[in-house]
Amino acid sequence: MTEQSTQAASALSQQLEKLIEELPEDSMTVSELIDRCGEGGLLLLAALLTLVFLIPVSLPGVSTLFGAIILLVGISRLRRGALWLPEKFKQKPVTVEKLRPALQQGLKWVHRLEKVSKSNRLSALADGAGLNMLNNLAFILAALLLMAPFGFVPFSNTFPGIALLFYAIGLAQRDGVAILLGHLMNIATILYFSILIGGGGLALKNLLS
């Protein structure tokens, strides 16, 4: 990877690191958090919120809220409009003291995924109205999978979380390979959930019989 490609590939992690470092010490509202993403836009916001799903312990009161916002980010991208949030979401307080360590730990995943990313690689998969719609629909699917009620099951948040990060990296850098990897992680998540549901149904059937 050339120096130019390396710099492009590390752009998202650098933006996230800077954003996390500049968070206030005490607390802030969701609206203030969104404002801090500034020029980074919706993909930076989605990547930031996804980080909390990549740690072993979920943050009470944050996971559901952040999952819903990520979903709305995907819908906004699909509609090519500004992000709309319910007023109660905007004014929701977030405790930065608990949030910052989770974000910093989740950031490790961004560094790992960026190692396989390269700007403008198979960029045709990131261009065009049809593919743009497909990629945004896949992004929305990943957000829905992230919100599935399997939070107590290992890797149930990790798989769709990685998919969302691949989409954020791929769409931001026009890296078709990263986008494809996001699609593959969506498929892996669906298969994993199918096994969970099938296994649970079989266990319940055997218990009842």
Q: What is the dihedral of CA 25, 30, 31, 37, to 10 degrees?
A: 70
**Cα 178 to Cα 20, 38, 94, 125, 169, distances in angstroms:** 24, 24, 31, 10, 7
Phi/psi region, residue 141 (left: phi>0; alpha: psi -120 to 50; beta: rest), is alpha
Task: Tell me: pLDDT of 144 over 80.
Answer: yes
Cα 168 from Cα 164, distance rounded (Å): 6
Question: What confidence score (pLDDT) does residue 171 get?
Answer: 93
Q: CA geometry: angle at 173 spanning 172 and 177, to 5°?
A: 110
Question: What confidence score (pLDDT) does residue 154 get?
Answer: 77
- In three-state secondary structure terms, 93 is strand
Question: What confidence score (pLDDT) does residue 8 get?
Answer: 42
Domain residues for the domain of 165 are 3-208
Question: What confidence score (pLDDT) does residue 39 get?
Answer: 56
Chain segment 79-106, per-residue pLDDT in tens: 988 899 999 999 999 888 888 999 999 9
Q: Total structural domains in the chain? A: 1
* Mean pLDDT in residue range 8-36: 85
Question: What confidence score (pLDDT) does residue 151 get?
Answer: 66
**Cα 136 to Cα 1, 20, 119, 127, distances in angstroms:** 28, 26, 19, 12
Chain segment 47-69, per-residue pLDDT in tens: 999 999 988 766 666 778 899 99
Q: Nearest to residue 144, comparing CAs of 131, 161, 129, 132?
A: 161
What confidence tier does 40 reach under pLDDT thresholds 50, 70, 90? Answer: low
Cα 66 from Cα 46, distance rounded (Å): 9
Question: What confidence score (pLDDT) does residue 60 get?
Answer: 63
Task: Tell me: pLDDT of 4 over 80.
Answer: no
Express as a percent the part of the chain with pLDDT over 70.
89
Predicted TM-score (pTM) of the model is: 0.87
Average pLDDT of the chain, as a whole number: 86
The count of other CB atoms within 10 Å of the CB of residue 179 is 26
Cα 209 from Cα 203, distance rounded (Å): 10
